[in-house]
């Protein structure tokens, strides 16, 4: 009998532990992935609840109404088609063609489902529909519309503008765009896939913009890296091929700063080989490459550091931003933002506040540090190098007179494309304009020729018409 009681106690204890573990895991999952579960197309509860609720308005940071609901219950978007196009990948659309837009991903707030059971019951007993919360987003619709107007009309790509101090995203756009009020058959069958959000869900090799991380790894792992002299002969030979610089350039003797300014592949390929794959992978991890992103306001594809075939050749190509690297434009913007923000990477944020019909604040922006990949000293050094890129290197077409602009260009080769992917990441290094930018134009050419001018126009727009840093 004693043995039986002992076994029962063990089983009971085990069941209690399992139950507690399940509760803890459930609470953690709801906290970290609640929006993902709630907004899932498989959530039949959500579909049923939507029929008994009136969604709130969605506004940009300046109070411009981007989405509302009329008396007949129809969802209405901004009357200006250029604004609708510019914000569609952030907002989403009526039939959820855009995955994880605000209309679906923030439906918990938007439809008021975060109220108590008793409040929902009271509405049901009165025969009233539940009124959702009004959402104010961090995006600036005027800036977004301007960005849309300067992006090549026949190209895929993405642009992100974010406040590197707070993480607020002021513009997040994927190209091509589409009008949620005019979804034609040609839009649905467009080979450029306008429904797909390239800013958060497309990842690829970032080309020489990745040299930000190779540079950070070098400063951390190679003693005296910043003061050494390097030699570029124009070639870095491997057993079966040769790495060369753009235009077969030969840079001869140069400093690390000059190698970064000129985006010298030979120098950065050698640096990657010198420090080794483990050091480069470790620094990449410090910047969030390989993380499983669980951001509150965005669903972002995970960035990938190559794990297989780590030969000297592949390590060198990784150091210059090729090999099997895969990063999203939003993540690259976060990496540039970390440099700008004294080495601190902020979580990207979209929701400024959610306010009920009774003017109760249900949610409010709280800036959140995501990672701290750099010391302030190394961040300052990299920012100085990036400033030289814009003043006298490959990124001069991003410069804005009278302002300290820092940046890095990238030209990424993709085997399946006729042209390279053009990249630019950078920021305004001034307290009154704490904004970082990432521009990607796919299948378009060089980063300095294609992406940098777009970034320069965005920087000019920001500094010419100051945006309020909230």
Q: Quick one: pLDDT at residue 30?
A: 42
Whether residue 237 contacts residue 273, with contact meaning beta carbons closer than 8 Å, is answered with no
Whether residue 38 contacts residue 108, with contact meaning beta carbons closer than 8 Å, is answered with yes
Q: Does 122 have pLDDT greater than 80? A: no
The tokens of 131 are what?
């009124």
Q: State the Cα–Cα distance between residues 324 and 47, nearest whole angstrom.
A: 40
pLDDT, tens only, 215-241: 999 999 999 999 999 999 999 999 999
Beta pairing, strands 229-232 & 130-131: unpaired
Give the domains, in start order, of the chain with CATH numbers. Answer: 207-349+369-464 (3.40.710.10)
Whether residue 271 contacts residue 319, with contact meaning beta carbons closer than 8 Å, is answered with yes
Q: Does 126 have pLDDT greater than 60? A: no
Residues forming a β-bridge with 159: 173, 439
Q: State the Cα–Cα distance between residues 124 and 422, nearest whole angstrom.
A: 54
The tokens of 90 are what?
């952030």
Q: Does 205 have pLDDT greater than 50? A: yes
The tokens of 214 are what?
């190779």
Neighbours of 215 (CB within 10 A): 27
This prediction has a pTM of 0.89
Q: Does 245 have pLDDT greater than 50? A: yes
Q: Does 24 have pLDDT greater than 50? A: no
- Segments of 377-420 assigned E as strands: 405-412
Q: Quick one: pLDDT at residue 146?
A: 97
The tokens of 323 are what?
């090999």
Strand, helix or coil for residue 113: coil
Beta pairing, strands 421-428 & 435-441: antiparallel
End-to-end Cα spacing for the chain? 69
The H-or-E segment that residue 214 falls in is helix 211-221
343 to each of 18, 165, 205, 436, how far by Cα in Å? 41, 11, 23, 14
Check residue 239 and report its DSSP letter. Answer: S
Q: Does 291 have pLDDT greater than 70? A: yes
Q: Which residues of 53-86 are buried (b: 16+ CB within 10 A; e: fewer)?
A: bbbbbbbbbeebebbbbeeeeeeebbeeebbbbb
Q: Quick one: pLDDT at residue 6?
A: 64
Q: What does the angle CA 152 – CA 153 – CA 158 come to, to the nearest 5 degrees?
A: 60
The pLDDT mean for the chain works out to 90
Q: Does 273 have pLDDT greater than 90? A: yes
The tokens of 378 are what?
């190394």
**What would the mean pLDDT of 63-92 be, rounded to a whole number?**
96
């Amino acid at each position: 009998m004693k043995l039986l009681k002992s076994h029962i106690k063990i089983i009971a204890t085990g069941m209690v532990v399992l139950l507690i573990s399940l509760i803890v895991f459930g609470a953690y999952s709801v906290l970290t992935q609640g929006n993902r579960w709630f907004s899932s197309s498989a959530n039949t509860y959500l579909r049923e609840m939507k029929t008994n609720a009136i969604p709130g308005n969605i506004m940009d940071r300046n109070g411009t109404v981007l989405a509302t609901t009329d008396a007949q219950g129809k969802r209405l978007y901004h009357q200006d088609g250029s604004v609708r196009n510019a914000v569609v990948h952030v907002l989403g659309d009526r039939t959820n063609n855009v995955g994880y837009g605000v209309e679906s991903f923030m439906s918990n707030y938007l439809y008021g489902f975060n109220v108590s059971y008793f409040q929902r019951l009271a509405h049901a007993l009165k025969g009233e529909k539940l009124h959702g919360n009004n959402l104010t987003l961090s995006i600036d619709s005027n800036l977004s519309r301007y960005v849309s107007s300067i992006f090549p009309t026949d190209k895929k790509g993405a642009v992100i503008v974010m406040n590197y101090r707070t993480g607020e995203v002021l513009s997040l756009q994927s190209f091509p765009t589409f009008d949620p009020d005019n979804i034609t058959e040609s839009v649905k069958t467009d080979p450029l896939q306008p429904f797909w959000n390239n800013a958060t869900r497309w990842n690829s090799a970032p080309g020489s913009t990745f040299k930000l991380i190779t540079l950070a790894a070098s400063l951390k792992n190679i003693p005296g890296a910043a003061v050494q002299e390097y030699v570029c002969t124009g070639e870095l030979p491997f057993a079966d091929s040769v790495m060369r610089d753009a235009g077969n350039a030969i840079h001869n003797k140069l400093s690390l700063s000059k190698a970064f300014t000129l985006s010298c592949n030979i120098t950065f390929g050698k640096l990657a080989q010198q420090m080794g794959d483990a050091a480069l992978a470790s620094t990449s991890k410090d910047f969030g490459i390989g993380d499983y992103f669980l951001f509150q306001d965005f669903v972002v594809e995970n960035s990938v550091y190559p794990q297989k075939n780590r030969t000297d050749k592949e390590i060198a190509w990784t150091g210059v931003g090729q090999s099997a690297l895969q990063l999203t434009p939003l993540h690259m913007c976060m990496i540039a933002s970390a440099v700008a923000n004294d080495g601190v990477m902020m979580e990207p944020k979209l929701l400024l506040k959610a306010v009920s019909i009774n003017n109760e604040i249900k949610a409010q922006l709280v800036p959140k540090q995501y990672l701290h990949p750099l010391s302030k000293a190394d961040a300052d050094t990299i920012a100085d190098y990036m400033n030289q890129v814009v003043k006298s290197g490959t990124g001069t077409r991003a410069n804005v007179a009278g302002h300290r602009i820092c940046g890095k260009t990238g030209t990424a080769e993709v085997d399946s494309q006729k042209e390279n992917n053009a990249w630019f990441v950078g920021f305004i290094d001034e307290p009154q304009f704490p904004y970082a930018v990432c521009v990607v134009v796919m299948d378009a050419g060089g980063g300095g020729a294609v992406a940098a001018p777009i970034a320069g126009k965005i920087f000019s727009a920001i500094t010419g018409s100051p945006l309020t840093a909230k």
